[in-house]
Amino acid sequence: MTKDKRDFLIADRLEVARCTGADATAFLQGQLTSDIAALAQFEWGVSGYCSAKGRLLGIFLVFRDRDSFWLATHASLLEGLIKRLRRYVLRAQVDFEMEQKWQVGFRTGVAMQKPLTPSHDLTPPGRPYPGAPLEVLLFRQMTSSQRPTPPAGLTTGNGEIDFSLACIQAGLPVLQPQTQELLIPQSVNLDLIEGVSFKKGCYPGQEIIARVRYRGKPKQRMVRAFIESEKPIRPGTAVDTSPVATGQTGTVVNASPHQTAPGWEMLVSLPVSCLARDVDPGLSIGGKPVFRRPLPYLLPLPGD
């Protein structure tokens, strides 16, 4: 994890919506992949939103504030996802509102040891899954300027780059348009970070997601990786897996410039046949080698 002495880093590319109403818990429980009802007050979680085919439409950071829920995801996807969710409200007492005055922030490293006093302009910080090396929180913007500002007394880092890198190092995928409807939750490890519940009732794509767990094994898993490249690496970029997995390719889920080395940190979804080896299995992008890096949580290997 990056050793960052700054207190607070702003996720410029994440936007927030709020779900309220007497039926908010039950509604989201029937739409998202995680156990929304099990979230405690002022607790953070991660959850997927899938198509009927089990493909991810989006990944939310979810914050519970009593009986309302704050949903944060990549700005390019939020409006469309909320519009889709509204179609299924029907007679339920549920309302969605875009919260443009609120911004997502996070803390990493030693900054997490510093106490923060929650207020009506700052939510309590929390980790999106147990052991996550970052804390997420919401704060109300204090200015009308385009760039958000942090709460008083907190210093900030380099916005989107720092946030993207922290998510990659935490093994936390952030879905973007280039990877929408390409991957199931297991392909980006959501089931390994409490982003999928196999004990609750139905939600879109639940049958397919459950079948992968109970009748087979995931065909892909997500790893952290690095590539030396001056050329930008984008989400959705294909990763060559030959000769280990002939005819199969991996997919870049997230990528961010490394802070010191001349290259890019990535989260990459790979065929599981690439994961059984102890050495790098000849992965490449555009002929440049891709090297695996450790994740902060256990990644099951074939045969486990």
**Residue 197 placed within a domain:** no
User: What pLDDT sits at residue 77?
Assistant: 98
User: What is the per-residue pLDDT across 210-262, written as a single tens digit (0 to 9) for each?
Assistant: 998 887 788 999 999 999 998 999 999 999 988 666 668 999 999 999 877 78
Nearest residue to 163 via CA among 134, 124, 142: 134
Compute the radius of gyration of the chain from its Cα atoms: 19
The answer to whether residue 74 is domain-embedded is yes
| CA–CA distance, 19 with 22 (Å, rounded to integer) | 10
Predicted confidence (pLDDT) per residue in 180-219, tens digit: 999 999 999 999 999 999 999 899 999 999 998 887 788 9
Tell me if 155 is assigned to some domain: yes
Q: What's the CATH number where 64 sits?
A: 3.30.70.1400
pLDDT given for residue 7 in this prediction: 66
Q: Is residue 151 part of a domain?
A: yes
Instruction: Give the residue numbers spanning the domain of 122.
Output: 9-170
Query: pTM to 2 decimals?
Result: 0.91
Q: What is the mean pLDDT of the chain?
A: 88
Q: Which two tokens stand for residue 279?
A: 């050495």
pLDDT tens per residue across span 103-159 = 998 888 878 888 888 888 889 999 999 999 999 999 987 655 555 555 655 555 555
Closest C-alpha among 277, 269, 267 to residue 303:
277
pLDDT grade for 2, boundaries at 50, 70 and 90: very low
**Bridging pattern class, strands 220-227 and 288-293:** antiparallel
Supply the pLDDT for residue 145: 55
The alpha-helical segments, DSSP class H, found in the chain are: 24-29, 75-87, 159-170, 206-214
Residue 273 in any domain: the answer is: no
In-domain check, residue 164: yes
Among 249, 257, 247, 245, residue whose Cα is nearest residue 286: 249
Domain membership of residue 98 (yes or no) is: yes
Q: If you write DSSP's letter for every residue of 187-246 in order, what string do you get?
A: GGTGGGTT---SSS---TTHHHHHHHHHTS--SEEEEEEEE--SS---TT-EEE-TTTTT
- Cβ atoms within 10 Å of 217's Cβ, excluding its own: 13
- What span, in angstroms and rounded, lies between the C-alpha atoms of 34 and 58? 13
Domain count, the chain: 1
CB 175 within 8 A of CB 59: yes
Whether 108 maps to a domain, the answer reads yes
